[in-house]
Amino acid sequence: MRFTAACMAAFLFLQASEASFISEFRKTLRSDNELLQDYSYTETETRTETDRNGKPKSTEVLIYEISSEGGQLYRHLVSKNGVPPTPDQEMKTAVTPRDDSKIRDELFEIFDIQVEGRETLEALPAVTLSFKPRPGYKPQSKLASFLMHVSGRAWVNEEDHQLIRVEAEVFDSVSYGWFLGSLQEGTHLIAERRKFDNRAWLPAKLDIQKSQRVLLKGVHVHEVHVYSGYRKF
């Protein structure tokens, strides 16, 4: 009887500890868009279109500089496949700040989040979490509706509760744009963050293996975005 009571007490303690960790993680979570609003940086995008067997058909490399001008962030195309843009290719688009607090809060309603264990990542202890949609949840936005088709794992720094890695996968096909297209089962995303200047965890790499149908045509794309040269302003 005492053994059973002790086991129950230990189980309840672990549950409370896990709930406390997830609660602290929720307080620190910020989207990439929110984190990058105070930085200039370089983004290198490599986009490879492949056939259904993964064999490359075409590759394009774009380099962008994101910088502040008069308090406004702008995204400039620096080169395309190693060549500076021609006048008709030059792009300068404003980066609009966005408040993602609503969807951040909804994430914890959409997903059943469970503590899986502990690992070492970036030479630091990290807690691994699993997430999957809660059955019957009614999403409050288009993005939330899409996330109802996604599950995966996350790694959170144990000391400061900062998100440092996400692996997510589309587990069933999801349509977008009415009849225009759909994102297929198996589409996979890996997002990594690193600590810069021993201060902030910022995006380092985004790797997307994407299978989709566009106007009834199958398209397979591998996108890699690498972020570097952070400068706080």
pLDDT at 56: 78
CA 193 – CA 39 distance, rounded (Å): 15
Chain segment 70-90, per-residue pLDDT in tens: 788 999 999 999 999 887 777
Q: Residue 120 has which token pair? A: 């070492």
Taking residues 217-228, report their average pLDDT: 86
- pLDDT reported for residue 66: 94
Q: What is the average pLDDT value for the chain, to the nearest integer?
A: 84
Predicted confidence at residue 179, as pLDDT, reads 42
Q: pLDDT tens for residues 7-28? A: 333 333 334 578 999 999 999 9
**Region of residue 195 (phi > 0: left; psi between -120 and 50: alpha; otherwise: beta):** beta
Q: Which residue, chain included where needed, has tokens 């500890």?
A: 17
Cβ–Cβ < 8 Å for 61, 44? yes
Rounded distance, CA 177 to CA 173, Å? Answer: 14
pLDDT of 160 reads 93
- What tokens were used for 195? 């600590």
* Residue 4 reports pLDDT greater than 50: no
Considering only CA atoms, which of 80, 52, 43 is closest in space to residue 221?
52
**E-assigned strand segments in 51-133:** 56-69, 72-80, 92-94, 111-121, 124-133
- Give CA–CA dist 206/191, Å, rounded: 5
Instruction: Say what the pTM is.
Output: 0.83
Dump pLDDT digits (tens) for 154-203. Answer: 999 999 999 999 999 999 877 755 444 556 777 889 999 999 887 899 99
What is the reported pLDDT for 181?
52
C-alpha 5/C-alpha 36 separation (Å) is: 49
- R_g of the chain computed on alpha carbons: 21
The pLDDT value recorded for residue 143 is: 86
Question: pLDDT value at position 85?
Answer: 86
**φ, ψ of residue 169 in degrees (nearest 5):** -140, 140
Residue 123 has pLDDT above 90, yes or no: no
